[in-house]
Structure 1
Amino acid sequence: MNTPRSSSPDPAAENPAPDRLAIHGLLSYRLSRVANAMSRSAALRYRREFDVSLGEWRTIALLGADSPLTLNRLARLAALDKAQMSRVVAKLTERGLVLREYGAGRTTQLTLTRKGAALYRGLITAANERDQAFLVCLTGEEREALNSALDKLGTLARALERAEER
């Protein structure tokens, strides 16, 4: 006698426990999806209007906000590994947008050139326009709640990351 077989090897996967959310309901997944959609639309605009990639935009924006920076510090702030940041900086240096100044030991200080600073002003204006376009759909109270929630989640996420590294 043949019994019907489930296409899933784990029957619990078909019907998750009521207290467990499927991936689509997980906070980290939802935040990631929103952040990725925001980043993709930013990347399209910045490529079209300024001929920079998202990684280049972040590098220029970080240097425009706080210079000089070392490659290591810049990579940490941009959430890129050092090798990725090195490639981005090399491209921006070739384009005359970033200046490398060699310091004591093996440290290299990175700053924007005049051309890079001019590009930064255009990029940061566009970024602020995009920011306002997103925030317009929220009330003042929702903006405050969002800022507070992001601060709390960021603090907890960094603490959990440090705990996992042990």
Structure 2
Amino acid sequence: MNAPKRTSPEPGTPDSEQAPASTEASAPAPVPIHGLLSYRLSRVANAMSRSAALRYRRDFDVSLAEWRTIALLGADAPLTLNKLARLAALDKAQMSRVVTKLSERGLVLREFGAGRTTQLTLTRRGHSVYNGLIVAANERNEAFQVCLTDQEREVLDTALEKLATLARALERAEER
């Protein structure tokens, strides 16, 4: 329920000499969700991911999580399930399901290492899918970057690095 709006007393009346003006009046109004940087970045990233998911499903019969898994293994294999999950920003259970599906399709190979570790790599067929996916991803990347000048790309890269560093620091602070 909104409080009734107070009007300012006339100068020289008793109320005008009581308390100084409220600092609330000088504080900026909260930014609505549509103006929050994190919300705006999330919306852009989600739109980019949705269009990628549609293309990768149509052209390569892989989901977005499967694409990320294949791409990460194509770039940095071998990887453990835990490391792969961290890099893909998925929880371990989600990544385990993705790897199981890709393994059943003959795209990912699980090799058991020392102790309980499992090293994940792409199969020959997985590398073939990776090669097609990474070409498509680079085409999409270029399509997004074409609307930016060279200077805007540099500024965006710098800004994203700064935001990522700060986001990781804030995440660590929140975990305490």
TM-score, normalisation: structure 2: 0.85
Size of the alignment, in residue pairs? 153
Give the gaps of 5 or more residues in structure 2: 4-26
Aligned pair 1:152/2:169, yes or no?
Answer: no
* CA shift digits 1:57-78 (9 cap, x unpaired): 0000000000000000000000
Q: Percent of counterpart pairs with the same letter?
A: 80
Larger Rg computed on CA atoms: 2
Pairwise CA distance, 1:19: 3.4
Shift in Å at residue 152 of structure 1?
0.3
CA distance in 1, matches of 2:31, 2:152: 25
Please say if 1:69 is aligned against 2:79: yes
**1:10 Cα offset (Å):** 6.0
Q: Provide the secondary structure at the position in 2 that maps to 1:110.
A: strand
- Structure 1's consecutive aligned runs of 4 or more residues displaced over 3 angstroms after TM superposition are none
Is there any run of 5+ residues in structure 1 with no aligned partner, and where? Answer: 1-8, 12-16
2:122 alignment partner in structure 1: 112
2:21 is aligned to: none
Flag the 1:121–1:19 CA change in 2: closer, same or farther, 3 A: same
Aligned to 1:40: 50
1:20, distance to aligned residue in structure 2 (A): 1.8
Q: Kindly report the root-mean-square deviation, in angstroms, between the aligned alpha carbons of the 2 structures.
A: 1.1
Q: Superposition pairs for residues 1-150 of structure 1, below 5 Å?
A: 9=1, 18-150=28-160
CA distance in 2, matches of 1:50, 1:134: 21
Which digits, 9 at most, give the CA deviation of each residue in 1:66-119, with x for residues without a partner?
A: 000000000000000000000000000000000000000000000000000000
Letter in 2 for 1:79: A
Distance 1:47 1:93 in 2: 17
Secondary structure, aligned partner of 1:69: coil
